[in-house]
Structure 1
Amino acid sequence: MAYPSDLTDEQWALLKPVLNAPGKRGRKHGDDLRLVVDAMLYIAQTGCQWRYLPESFGPWTRVWSQFRRWSRNGTWARALTVLHTAARKAEGRAEATPSMVVIDTHLARGGSNGGATFHDRGGPFGRTKGAKRVVAVDVTGLPVTGLVVPASMHENETTRVVLDHLARQGVTERLELVLVDRGVSARAADKLGRRHSVEVRRVGWDDKQPVFRPIRHAWRVEVAHGRLGRSRRLAKSFENTTASATGWLQVVCIATTLRHIASARTRALVLAAAS
């Protein structure tokens, strides 16, 4: 049975080289991994619990173990980097990596039940118990990366964590400008800028107006958070570890990027036919 969240042949062709990369041990999997990825995308979109996964996807324990493995070894992050490059190409961008990114956080309320958890208090006055989702987007509004950290982590530290992660992913080669909100201190912005040889610019309005006014380019990350939040698995932070929470955030980022690539290619075909 097919679901709307299932991968198309073109989408699987983009993901397969990353997810099926040979390791130090174990056999390479074939297209059977596609069903496992479809199951993860189904959970991400619908928000169902592992044990409620439809039988058509096979044993839920197999899907769970593969998700856990990819979340821990950085596979999702590498897949998102590859897809982001493909998305920029589909948009007609000349360079594979961005020269500007916007970083912002979103506080998700904790919804885990018992057990060891990284959820703690954060947000305004420290009243919200949950986790912070940190997303970096480029000028197209597509997520370059996404990470989850404890809610109590300061904006200075979350920005450092994201920039270090982007550097490890090889995304900072062309990076010149990083936009952050004023939760990041001027001193921290200057220090991070020197560390990564980029300009870290704090943006925001000085006056407290009750009317929403978008900030040039910075509004794109707010839109990204809104789009990611449409996936039911991200309705709350249901996970008990940062690795699992980050894995689901990156899965949703991947799904969003795949849909954008499909839309961009469709637009290109329509324009080509019209001309």
Structure 2
Amino acid sequence: MFKSYPSDLTSEQWELLSTLLPQENPACRPRCVDLRAVMNAIFYILCAGCAWRMLPHDFPNWQTVYYYFRKWRLDGTWDKMNHKLQQWVRVCEEREPNPSAAIIDCQSIESGTTVSQDVGFDSGKLVKGRKRHFLVDTLGLVLMVVVTSAYESDQAGARKLFAKASKQISHRLTRLVCIWVDAGYQGEGFMKWVMDTYRWILEVVRRPTAAKGFVLLPRRWVVERSFGWFNWCRRLSKDYEILPQTHETFVQVAMIRLMLKRLA
């Protein structure tokens, strides 16, 4: 009998998550793998930061685990799970299921030595790697994430983020009106483009000119806290993924695990 890992799902968490997983297709060969074990293996990869081939032997074969991880990325299962859990968390916090306000920010992270696609240098942060662009609600829950080269500017990444959000989750953002941003997104042309294209209002939260050292800025601290949550996931401490889309999926998996811990 194997002992459980700290990253394993509890019975209550699995009861919630199992209702969101795709049902077995009766036209296909019967499923012979335990999806709970698959989810535990994916959470282990996320928390431990190890390679797929280094999964402990008490999990299903790493090829099987990676198959489901990739399949659910391509068919949108991770996105659907993330969205449904967000609604449950927001309702538990006595909020509307869909947000009316959000915050956008980005974070530059180093990439692994084997990563070469979409890698650049952020001259402002002096980081060679990639940049994660986040759109979060007022609770810090990630609504959308886009990973680009670190060379791309904040506004260029925001354009990709807004385009992806309007294409994939526009029906979830019907109440969205205001988005708080930092000074990197200011500019009359960009703010007018956002308003004309998506009908969203960008409100810049500026740092006080006389302030020195760390300052807790209204609204913007929420997304900074979300950055801190990802520090508990070693797989997200650097960008080890060949494809930027894989890193985006691991961000969704991290949020799913965090929300499950809140709900159960």
TM-score by length of 1: 0.85
Aligned counterparts of 1:134 and 1:105: Cα–Cα separation in 2:
4
Aligned counterparts of 1:133 and 1:163: Cα–Cα separation in 2:
14
Query: Do the aligned partners of residues 79 and 28 (structure 1) sit closer, same or farther apart at CA in structure 2, a change above 3 Å counting?
Result: farther
Query: Do the aligned partners of residues 106 and 59 (structure 1) sit closer, same or farther apart at CA in structure 2, a change above 3 Å counting?
Result: same
Counterpart in 1 of 2:56? 54
Deviates more, 1:98-107 or 1:197-206: 197-206
> How far does residue 15 in structure 1 lie from its aligned partner after superposition?
2.6
Deviates more, 1:228-237 or 1:158-167: 158-167
Q: Which amino acid aligns with 1:172?
A: L
Structure 1 position 173 matched with structure 2 position 179:
no
Aligned counterparts of 2:211 and 2:33: Cα–Cα separation in 1:
54
Q: Which amino acid aligns with 2:206?
A: G
Q: Is residue 112–residue 237 contact of structure 1 (8 Å, CA) maintained in 2?
A: no
Counterpart in 2 of 1:162? 161
Counterpart in 1 of 2:45? 43
- Written as runs of structure 1 = structure 2, the 5 A alignment for 1:64-213 is 64-93=66-95, 95-113=96-114, 116-124=116-124, 127-167=126-166, 168-169=168-169, 170-186=171-187, 187-205=189-207, 207=209, 209-213=211-215
Q: Which amino acid aligns with 2:127?
A: T
> How far does residue 218 in structure 1 lie from its aligned partner after superposition?
1.2
Counterpart in 2 of 1:273? none
Aligned counterparts of 1:155 and 1:221: Cα–Cα separation in 2:
15
Aligned counterparts of 2:160 and 2:251: Cα–Cα separation in 1:
16
SS where residue 176 of structure 2 aligns?
A: coil
Aligned counterparts of 2:26 and 2:109: Cα–Cα separation in 1:
37
Query: Do the aligned partners of residues 160 and 78 (structure 1) sit closer, same or farther apart at CA in structure 2, a change above 3 Å counting?
Result: farther
Unmatched tracts of structure 1, length 5 or more: 263-275
Aligned counterparts of 1:247 and 1:195: Cα–Cα separation in 2:
27
Q: Which amino acid aligns with 2:161?
A: V
Query: Do the aligned partners of residues 34 and 98 (structure 1) sit closer, same or farther apart at CA in structure 2, a change above 3 Å counting?
Result: same
Identity %: 30
Counterpart in 1 of 2:262? 260
> How far does residue 17 in structure 1 lie from its aligned partner after superposition?
3.5
Q: Is residue 230–residue 237 contact of structure 2 (8 Å, CA) maintained in 1?
A: no
Q: Is residue 47–residue 234 contact of structure 2 (8 Å, CA) maintained in 1?
A: yes
Q: Is residue 81–residue 145 contact of structure 1 (8 Å, CA) maintained in 2?
A: no
Query: Do the aligned partners of residues 73 and 261 (structure 1) sit closer, same or farther apart at CA in structure 2, a change above 3 Å counting?
Result: same
Aligned counterparts of 1:149 and 1:29: Cα–Cα separation in 2:
36
Counterpart in 2 of 1:268? none
TM-score by length of 2: 0.89
Query: Do the aligned partners of residues 82 and 25 (structure 1) sit closer, same or farther apart at CA in structure 2, a change above 3 Å counting?
Result: farther
